[in-house]
Structure 1
Amino acid sequence: MKTILYARVSTTDQTLDHQKTQAEQAGFVIDDVVSDHGVSGVSTRLRERPEGKRLFDMLRTGDTLVVRWVDRLGRDYADVTKTIREFMERGVIVRTVINNMTFDGATKDPVQMAVRDALIGFMAATAQANHEATKASQRAGIDAAKADKKKYLGRKPSYDRKALDAVLSMIEVGTNGTSEIAKATGLTRQTVIRIKQDPAKANTILSAWE
């Protein structure tokens, strides 16, 4: 039985090494890593991703699939819930790094099954809502930047999109302190603190300069 980490890395996402480190810090012992790079999780089903196909072939009954969050497993609510249930039917345990959620199809108790299925639906819906909120925030930031493009932009931020996304991801996990985040991203503690205090403002400033 193996523990396999699946990671999706886009141009604005966390690096593969960072996601693996997060999983190990959460207590997972990873036997193998499967990752897709530059693939949109919003428009592409897991089975249609180059390494996603290999993941389905690799997983066996009794294996554990680790993902940073359930949004790595599908495009939207329906796709995520379908994918998790398919893995459970195959005897694969699905676990998340964030909040350490476990989805196991072994239970036959109807109450536990109902709770598990309700939790899957809630987590998938939350993932889709978070994605849509992020897109809306980014659009708002871009619109604000366009409206102010003739104005003085102020001091250029010391972080780029990749660094900002990494900081926000680590803040979301909640297991990293300010100093740890600063060290991991190469930013100063003061910069990390400002991002923590007002993520939307940090995104708007960066969008203006982009």
Structure 2
Amino acid sequence: MSRTVFYARVSVDDQTIAHQRTQAESAGFVIDEVVADDGVSGVFTTLAERPQGRRLFDMLRRGDVLVVRWVDRLGRSYTDVTEAIRAFMARGVIVRTVINNMTFDGATADPIQMAVRDALIGFMAATAQAQAEATKEAQRAGINHAKGREGAYRGRKPSYSGSQLETVCAMQSQGATVATIAKATGLSRQTIYRIVGSPIEAYIVLERWNK
């Protein structure tokens, strides 16, 4: 009997496993089991290197459905994400995302459909890595300078959390409208326009307050 497994990964304080599961269930997913890695980076570890990520490869069978909030929960590396999704598809596992409700499986034999599917997987994986690199660039280029001496003025506190920032970037990269992103995140359109206009600056501001 097939089952639906939700995989969550959290690496910062303002993300929670419970929140990711609530998002999935609110989107209509009926989850049989939750597998989660808490406090684990997707930049420095591959899915197979994480304790619970490794467990996914052991437990998932043909016909099972693997649900993730977005592909960046699987990893922040293009190679890691694409290889993981292809490995699951090869064993007959269906991979679905909460954001944009994407579905990836190995059912089709049509070369055109396969090409479109693989191109989309590659694009989403590349976006996940680009977001991670933007975060690192923000840390290198501006955080230390922006923080300055202890007690220095940090500007207005951001109205978004780390998970909201990731969701905005992910949905925007997939072509979602500002109205759709606002509904999904609860953020104002003005905030979303500001994030989309300068995502690196948005990361810098958030890190400045997370000191």
TM-score by length of 1: 0.79
Identity of aligned residues (%): 59
1:7–1:34 contact (8 Å) kept in structure 2: yes
Is 1:113 aligned to residue 109 of structure 2?
no
CA drift at 1:33: 0.6
Alignment-derived partner of residue 35 in structure 1? 36
1:178–1:193 contact (8 Å) kept in structure 2: no
- In 2, distance between residues paired with 1:45 and 1:13? 22
CA drift at 1:132: 0.8
Correspondence list, 1:47-196, <5 A: 47-146=48-147, 148-149=148-149, 152-153=152-153, 157=157, 164-172=161-169, 173=171, 177=182, 181=186, 195-196=191-192
- In 2, distance between residues paired with 1:104 and 1:28? 17
Tell me the amino acid that sits aligned with residue 73 of structure 1: L
Which sits farther off after the overlay, 98-107 or 11-20?
11-20
Runs of 5+ unmatched residues, structure 2: none
Tell me the amino acid that sits aligned with residue 167 of structure 1: Q
Cα distance change of structure 1 residues 201 and 4 upon mapping to structure 2, 3 Å threshold: same
1:3–1:31 contact (8 Å) kept in structure 2: yes
Cα distance change of structure 1 residues 177 and 86 upon mapping to structure 2, 3 Å threshold: same
- In 2, distance between residues paired with 1:90 and 1:66? 16
2:24–2:69 contact (8 Å) kept in structure 1: yes
CA drift at 1:91: 0.2
Count residues with an aligned counterpart.
197
Cα distance change of structure 1 residues 134 and 119 upon mapping to structure 2, 3 Å threshold: same
1:70–1:96 contact (8 Å) kept in structure 2: yes
Tell me the amino acid that sits aligned with residue 198 of structure 1: R
Cα distance change of structure 1 residues 64 and 48 upon mapping to structure 2, 3 Å threshold: same
Runs of 5+ unmatched residues, structure 1: 183-191
CA drift at 1:20: 0.6
Question: In angstroms, what is the RMSD of aligned CA positions?
Answer: 2.9
Tell me the amino acid that sits aligned with residue 16 of structure 1: I
Tell me the amino acid that sits aligned with residue 118 of structure 1: A
Tell me the amino acid that sits aligned with residue 35 of structure 1: A
Tell me the amino acid that sits aligned with residue 141 of structure 2: A
1:170–1:181 contact (8 Å) kept in structure 2: no
CA drift at 1:149: 2.8
Q: Secondary structure at the match of 2:61?
A: coil
CA drift at 1:98: 1.4
TM-score by length of 2: 0.79
Deviations 1:129-151 (A, max 9, x none): 121112212333413324x4378
